[in-house]
Structure 1
Amino acid sequence: MKTLYLDCAAGISGDMTIGALLDLGLPLEVLQDGLDRLGLPPGSFRISLEKTSRLGITATHFVVDAPDQHHHRHYSDIKGLIAASGLTDAVKALSQKIFLRLAQAEAAVHGVPLDKVHFHEVGAIDSIVDIVGTVIGLDYLGVATVISSPLPFGSGWVDTAHGRLPVPAPATAELFKGLQVTPDSVPGEWVTPTGAAIVAALATACGPAPAMTMAAIGCGAGTKKCEQRPNLLRAFLGETAGDQEQILVMETHLDDMNPEILGFLMDRLFEAGALDVALAPLQMKKNRPGTRLTVIADRTRLDELARLVLTESTAIGVRYYPVERITLERSLESCSTSLGPVRVKRVRLPDGRSRVYPEFEECRRLAIERGMALLDVYRLVENEAAERP
């Protein structure tokens, strides 16, 4: 699986990301053609690249020249612009995903509904170009998975349309939720809202570099000159064995709760997007029997799932921590069998072979309808589905 690892030791911004993708081989002409499909007014922007150096390291600096920018756009305006564009559906979907994360952060900071979010700097043409251009680059390079290093927290102050604000800027800080951040000894704003949104929306994990077969390295230069470290975003492109991502494990111990309610809580957690929920018996203080509730979830679901646990149980706290996992490529498909069509999960192994797992409810239904043993139905479906490529 083609994987892009973003080394954000010196931060990340939109222009640094595109610079790194250009350095990896994205042709400027392909980028220009894709951006032209946005339908922005003719002549409203020009893009260029220049080879530069940061503390002796060669890098690509991406430049957007948009002198007559309109700095104030609502989220709905940008959403409509992308939807009406001539971009591919895949590029549209990922671009919308990044802008949605930005809009959610701004809505939380300013306490307004999503449709009322008013972009300032991020509504400018150069920021729109940075976000959509990033997705065009990922699509061209065939990137399937994005993983990011921890992001530098930054310090000091930054001037914005709202005035002078502390670093990280409020929207950036909101986007940091669920991501790993690290203290930074170099003052300044090193992660922009656009850069944080790219990581928050696209990265499946935020942590160490994955095990991968390296193919290419691209360096995107930031605009700031810094003597303490090279102001670069390094992007490592390579192949990984499986789909690597970072998820959260949430836990709490319960010893004073009616066990009948635990089943209801489990159902609610699955409905809210938990990847898995488990209940395990344990012996707690004062020799009281208790239950460990474990929830596995995407990091974006933390707030909603924690609220459910604290509302629907007697827990007064929830522990959570990030973990890495590698998953195999899988698909849900319908297979024709001698018992009729049956849905199965097909899992692709690293060596190219596949395994088939029949869906329980389908097999249960067939066992009842045909008067067969459930185990016999499982075996028949497995054998017949496995014979298909």
Structure 2
Amino acid sequence: MRNATVLKVLFGIAALAVPALAAETAPAPAGEVDLARCLADPPEWSGRLDSELAKLNKAVESAATPVEQATAHLAAANWLVGVPTSRAAVRWLAGMERPQDLTLLASRADQAAEHLDKGRAALKSAGQAKASEAAKISELKLAADSLEPFIKLLAVAGEQGDAEKRKSGFSEAALGLAMARESDNPDLSACALLWQSFAWECAGRRERAMLSLPHALTRPEQPSFGFLSRLLRCRLVAEDERYAASFALTLRVRAACNQWFPKETSEQLAARGRLAAVVQYEIGRSWLKQLTKSGSKAAADDVEALLAGLRDALYEQDAPGPVYVPESIVPILVESPVTSAPAAVSRPAGTPASGPASMPTTAPIITE
């Protein structure tokens, strides 16, 4: 009886909350949604990373003074921990990581740590700084201290073996992010809150993670990390097997995107909605398994109907639509002198500036 009541409420919310999203998309193919395909890296992703990494290496090689060397190394560390990890990190946050994702995160963290050490060594070799360089050196030292706990967190992701040792590593990483959470840089503070909460979850401290995460339906002050924090909270509610509540929360998050991000384009808003829909679909699958196992056939049929509606929200024609992922999973605190800052929003792969084009077979991921 309780399941039937909850589902009636959910059908009502769905009809009121996101009618436009379903109307804007063509019916998806019959059958279960391929969530791995929804979150897949776009075909050009690897080539883009290689190009940007080559520029960073060039900056390191051409740096002459200790301050220039420190800047180049710390910019490389910042990029390595934030940009090539972004898609794998979002899959990890959503609970849909591939085994190679955790290996990639740890590998990039190791590379970032090497550049971090070299950057600090360069700062130390600067000796008595000129007055004109003192402020820059101070900024670089602060950036290095801010980046270090994020690097340590991703390094733990790839550790194998003893589970308790791994949990201990995540606990240490969570504690290390405490200072960044108090930063007056809103991007850094919001990012630290997201990753500290997730680190507590990975450490087996869900109650502490939930205590620090913002309420799912409060407007994010920071558009990227704040949004991901709300989706993480929805997911953790489901991890406690409160599937109905989690499913409804995620639906409400999808519906709130238009109000939360009024300056974004319809394409960007749809991408955010799709990421929320991916999380919601995974929650729904777990809920369906629970209902099927308990023999609640009528309720299970209703959940299947809700999932069918999500297929339409996730697909454009016969392929998944673009899904939101931040350009960098940590704030860019140090810019390389030979690379320009990433655009606030990038178009989906294969989309010309003049307008949309047909989507490639593997859905690209919109970046902020």
Tell me if both proteins adopt one fold, taking TM over 0.5 as the criterion.
no
TM-score, normalised by the number of residues in structure 1? 0.23
More helix by share: 2
More strand by share: 1
Bigger Rg over Cα? 1
Question: 1 or 2 for the larger relative contact order (CA 8 Å, sep ≥6)?
Answer: 2
TM-score, normalised by the number of residues in structure 2? 0.24
